Amino acid sequence: MNMQAQGLPEKAGDKMTTNAELQARKEQAIARGQGNLAPFYIDRADNAELWDVEGNRYIDFGSGIAVVNTGHNHPKVKAAVQAQLEKFSHTCVMVTPYDSAVELAEQLNQLAPGDTPKKTIFVTTGAEAVENCIKIARAHTGRRGVIAFNGGFHGRTMMAMGLTGKVTPYKNLFGPFPGEIFHAPYPIPYHGISEEESLKALNNLFKVDIEPSDVAAIILEPVQGEGGFYPASDSFMQALRKLCDEHGIMLIADEIQTGFARTGKFFCTEYSGVEPDLMTAAKGIAGGFPIAAVIGKAEVMDSPNPGGLGGTYGGSPIGCAAALAVLDVIKEEGLVERANHIGALFGQRLGALQAQYPNLIGEIRSERGAMIAMELIQNGDSEQPNPELTKALVAKGQEKGLILLSCGFRSNVIRFLPALTIGDDVANEGLDILEQCFAELN
């Protein structure tokens, strides 16, 4: 059928294949709010490497923002998806369900921290998982208030943005946000914010803004993601658990970026020995296929009435098949242990770089597996962030074939999220490029 005869635009096909041409088309076709970090367009990927439409190779230290923990195009994940496609692509798990969703929920319930019986629901995105955590917590407690932390990131829907503790670029222009959300300082010793100060601020909220008996939930990331890869200490997590238990508040662990072996535990909360009431999961769950989950204590999860939770695409059969394969790969290839090896490798190499540039590299954070950060400063002063160098390193890395991601409340942190399947040779090659970038920029 002639597409133009039907009033449809002609497909570009192979007529325009350069990065520059595709970027020009993108800027005309896609709203500027959905920007892109790198001005090149990926044609294929394998494990921790990417190739663009011009044939250029890149080492990927971002993994699609901690999504392909099992590497790009893992053969086992690919085979599971192909097999599911031969059966069916969608029926809606709330209409005519399928066994893969049940099996995935059973496995996630077993993997979640703590001995309390668990249940799971499936949604499509991390933000949806966060929103549903709040719904479930409010249904269970009959309360309205939610407390989050400065610097936290919980998504881009309205409730999730309200919970997020950073204005630009996430919240700017988009308010007003839902009410009854309160923020407290997140403990960051490097920036002089102690656990005691954070807990004191929480108790101050109870005196100034909302009674603890009216708080449904406290939500936090066990390692802040967009905020700068700051880990919550075991003692802080335990103090929050105690505080929540004293007041009947639900503790929500947002494990969207920290889950699925990323931090050297299957879920990062395991480090503290704390059992959350509710947890979010997304990103690394299915090797790049869109599925997310809320996992929680069965009694809490059953608080909403039937039909109160769900979504058309939640628990996609393709996503469930991919996620089951990801769980197999994590176990078979020892990726929990591998994450700790990667953290040690990066920590050693970045520590040596810090010794070379002590006035520019303030802190290396590699104590949580393959969720690694390098904070850039000026004049050796932690209170003088260096967002300019951060931005320049990302750009210089792209020029040399290395994909780096930045983050941070002050936009001065390089975060490293390599695939847990990355080989040491490729990891070291990428770190060699990083060293070259530093040398050229300083």
CATH number at residue 95: 3.40.640.10
User: Is residue 328 in a domain?
Assistant: yes
Q: What is the pLDDT of residue 177?
A: 86
Last residue of a domain, which of 289, 314, 332? 332
| pLDDT attached to residue 165 | 86
How many Å apart are CA 327 and CA 346, to the nearest integer? 25
In a domain, residue 265? The reply is yes
- How is residue 256 written in tokens? 């969207």
Task: Say whether both 220 and 255 belong to one domain.
Answer: yes
Same domain? 295 vs 232: yes
- 353 and 320 in one domain? no
pLDDT of residue 163: 93
Tell which of 297, 332, 367 closes a domain: 332
Q: Which two tokens stand for residue 169?
A: 């670029």
Give dist(CA 404, CA 390) in Å, integer: 10
CA distance 111 to 281: 12
Same domain, 384 and 372: yes
Q: Tell me the C-alpha distance between 135 and 163, whole Å.
A: 13
Residue 5 in any domain: the answer is no
Same domain, 316 and 356: no
Is 4 part of any domain?
Answer: no
Q: What is the pLDDT of residue 124?
A: 97
- Which range marks the domain in which residue 434 is found? 16-70+334-441
Strands 381-385 and 372-378, sheet pairing: antiparallel
| 305/376 same-domain check | no
Nearest residue to 149 via CA among 188, 103, 110, 207: 188
Q: Are 90 and 54 in a shared domain?
A: no
Q: Is the residue at 6 inside a domain? A: no
- pLDDT of res. 8: 45
Q: What pLDDT, on a 0 to 100 scale, did the predictor assign at position 396?
A: 97
Domain assignment present for residue 9? The answer is no
What CATH number does the domain containing 341 carry?
Answer: 3.90.1150.10
Last residue of a domain, one of 306, 332, 358: 332
Do 270 and 366 belong together in one domain? Answer: no
Number of folded domains that form the chain: 2
Give yes or no: residues 26 and 126 share one domain.
no
Same domain, 294 and 379: no
Asked, for residue 11, whether it belongs to a domain, the answer is no
96 and 24, same domain (yes or no):
no
302 and 164 together in one domain: yes
What distances in angstroms separate CA 65 from CA 85, 206, 214, 287, 375, one per listed residue?
A: 26, 35, 35, 11, 18
pLDDT tens-place values along the chain, 442 residues long: 333 444 544 444 555 589 999 999 989 999 998 888 888 999 999 999 999 999 999 999 999 999 999 999 999 999 999 999 999 999 999 999 999 999 999 999 999 999 999 999 999 999 999 999 999 999 999 999 999 999 999 999 999 989 988 788 888 887 788 889 999 999 999 999 999 999 999 999 999 999 999 999 999 999 999 999 999 999 999 999 999 999 999 999 999 999 999 999 999 999 999 999 999 999 999 999 999 999 999 999 999 999 999 999 999 999 999 999 999 999 999 999 999 999 999 999 999 999 999 999 999 999 999 999 999 999 999 999 999 999 999 999 999 999 999 999 899 999 999 999 999 999 999 999 999 999 999 8
- Cα–Cα distance measured from residue 152 to residue 149, given in angstroms and rounded to the nearest whole number: 6
Query: Is residue 10 in a domain?
Result: no
Tell me the per-residue pLDDT of 351-365, one tens digit each, with 9 for 90 and over. 999 999 999 999 999
